[in-house]
A and B are shown apart, each in its own frame.
Chain A
Amino acid sequence: MKRLLHIEFIKLWNNRASRVLIISYFVLLTFIALVAAIKFDIGPVEFHLADQGIFNFPYIWHFNTFITAIFKLFLAIVIVSMMANEYSNKTLKQNLIDGLSKKEFIASKFLTVLTFAGLSTVFVFVLSMILGLIYSDYTEAAIIFRDMEFLLAFFIKLTGFFAFCLFLGILVKRSAFALGFLILWVILEQIIFGLLGWKVVSWDMADKIKGFFPLESMSRLIDEPFTRLGAVQAVANQVGETLKLDYEVRFTETLITLVWTTLFIYWSFALLKKRDL
């Protein structure tokens, strides 16, 4: 396993574009800390974002995992191109001739995906912990370590998304087209949902079906955290709107994402096995 990871590390780290993207990704993650510095001074109104409770334990776990997941696109580019480049450089063929089995090849890519997801999770954990300890109103251990399932959901969400990217890289074989396909897929999920709700079944049912789509199930893993903020709730109450209060990480969505991840890896392997190079 160490050998497979090392092989992938040599390939990635010596590629300048990948290296820049990976470093930028982690630098961008740290920039979340800068949100703390956002302050507005409009005459008598003084607004300091960090004081609005976004860095309060345990809410911070939810907020930070949701926000940092947006940056996953950077690593998606790295993953799609690390796979597609093996085809365009024909190095996949050379790797196999040199004695890497097809299973080992997929394993080395998937281990890299797990490493990226794992590193991101650890990174977010450390970052949130530091920010929380500085700005949180509550620092009792029992509160700090509540809602930690958001970190697990974050890990599963990233793994699923990256596995999808890996599969697209193998399926399409060209990084630019694979990324194009990814964007197309985002739109397709919405269109299918729209068509289902409009013509085939009720909107309620369509929404349930949509939950089974790969990207939708991943995005539903962590709900948006904004309506949970005290300030937002207060405003909503004033305009007579009640906001949903169910933000937890749900078992079914986790399961659906895990099933998709397994399928994407299995399909990648099946494609690789079936194709002549």
Chain B
Amino acid sequence: METILTVNHLSKNYGRVQAVKDLSFTIEKGNVYGILGPNGSGKSTTLGIILNVVNRSSGDFSWFDGTVSTHEALKKVGAIIERPNFYPYMTAVQNLSLVCKIKDVPADKILEKLEIVGLLDRKDSKFKTYSLGMKQRLAIASALLNDPEILILDEPTNGLDPQGIHQIREIIKKIAQQGTTILLASHLLDEVEKVCSHVVILQKGEKLYSGPVDEMLASHGFFELRCDDMEKLKNLLEEDKRFGKIILETDTMTAYLEEEMSAVDLNQWAFNQGLVLSHLVKRKESLEEQFLTLTKK
């Protein structure tokens, strides 16, 4: 598989504060990556370093197998970090033509990209007249101008209203479907869960996990169960070695699996024990639950 970005033992100190500690990970072409972490965990600093706006303290990183200089590589990258930054006195089209000049790409895709983010009818309005949601969408259009190999988004839905959040997510999904590699930094877990296949989890500048989303915890998932005789069900589950933790919450039992087991098997097993289930759901831990488990350690 083609490697887009390699980060090796990267560290960054702001005076005594260590924002990033010995961070290593790689980004492969075609995947959608999420960088997760609480506020202040070093997400933006890491992105700042690989995007040439923050100086690293030690370690290194290389774009596209290190064959090109960072600023040349960035011409093949589309990135939005934090708030959208454009020239307030220029219109959308003027701002985008400037970006085209910087990226050294022809200006003929401006209208097409404005169409994707739904700003075509406001193309000649000055940037300062835009709402936050529109500014964010313009930033995405700008990041797409060069048909980037990788799209980097840092908190793209921060500060937006529900409609704005929805619009941005739809755009991201659309782009992901076209096979563009995406690196999405966020602390909104459902956002990452909806679009990402891989995650890098940071806490206080350190990497806790990097890899596919579903391999984050070595877990087989859990069952949510309900029946008439909850007491009996609890006793039976506790005796069985295939189950680990059993939690009874109001009227629902949650049983964590120690080994693989299908819902059919469980239903059959309960029926054989003389219990008829009124509710049976097999689930995997949500990203949020997994994340909290990981960061608690």
Contact = CB atoms under 8 A, between A and B. Distances in A.
Interface of A: 3, 6-7, 10-11, 14-16, 89-91, 93-102, 104, 273-274, 276-277
Query: Top 5 closest A-B pairs, CB basis?
Result: A99-B75, A101-B71, A99-B74, A94-B85, A90-B85
A97 B101 contact: no
A10 B14 CA distance: 35
A7 B48 contact: no
A98 B97 CA distance: 12
Contacts, number: 81
Interface in B86-100: 86-90, 94, 97-99
Nearest to A6: B101
B94 A14 contact: yes
A16 B72 CA distance: 32
Contact of A98 (B69, B72, B90, B99): B99
Given A6-B101, A277-B48, 13 more contacts: A3-B104, A7-B101, A10-B90, A10-B98, A94-B85, A96-B74, A97-B53, A97-B81, A98-B79, A98-B99, A99-B104, A100-B102, A101-B52
Of the candidates A97, A102, A104, A273, the one having the most CB atoms from chain B within 10 angstroms of its own CB is A97
Interface of B: 14, 48, 51-55, 69-75, 77, 79, 81, 83, 85-90, 94, 97-99, 101-104, 142
A89 B87 contact: yes
B90 A277 contact: no
A15 B94 CA distance: 11
Of the candidates A15, A91, A274, the one having the most CB atoms from chain B within 10 angstroms of its own CB is A91
A95 B79 CA distance: 11
B84 to A, nearest CB: 8
Contacts of A274: 55
A99 B97 CA distance: 14
Contact of A10 (B81, B97, B103): B97
A90 B55 CA distance: 17
A7 B98 contact: yes
A98 B102 contact: yes
Given A10-B97, A15-B89, A93 B102 contact: no
A3 B77 CA distance: 20
Nearest to A14: B90
Contacts of B77: 99
Nearest to B81: A97
A100 B71 contact: yes
B102 A99 contact: yes
A7 B85 CA distance: 16
Contacts of B75: 98-99
Contacts of A95: 102
Contacts of B69: 101
A276 B54 contact: yes
B247 to A, nearest CB: 46
Given A7-B101, A101-B69, A14 B48 contact: no
A14 B96 CA distance: 13
Nearest to B14: A276
Contacts of A273: 55
Contacts of B54: 276-277
A11 B98 contact: yes
Contacts of A98: 74-75, 79, 99, 102-103, 142
A7 B102 contact: yes
B30 to A, nearest CB: 22
Contacts of A16: 89
Contacts of A102: 52
Of the candidates A14, A104, A273, the one having the most CB atoms from chain B within 10 angstroms of its own CB is A14
Contacts of A104: 71
A270 to B, nearest CB: 12
7 contacts: A10-B101, A96-B71, A98-B79, A98-B103, A100-B71, A276-B48, A277-B53
B53 A99 contact: no
Nearest to B126: A14
Contacts of A11: 87, 98
Contact of B101 (A3, A14, A89, A277): A3
A94 B71 contact: no
Nearest to B84: A94
A73 B101 CA distance: 30
Contacts of B87: 11, 14-15, 89, 91
A14 B74 contact: no
Contact of B52 (A3, A14, A97): A97
Nearest to A108: B102
Nearest to B45: A276
Of the candidates A91, A94, A104, A277, the one having the most CB atoms from chain B within 10 angstroms of its own CB is A94
A93 to B, nearest CB: 5
A100 B73 CA distance: 10
B94 A10 contact: yes
Contacts of B48: 276-277
Contacts of B70: 101
Contacts of A93: 53, 81, 85
B224 to A, nearest CB: 45
A276 B55 contact: yes
B171 to A, nearest CB: 19
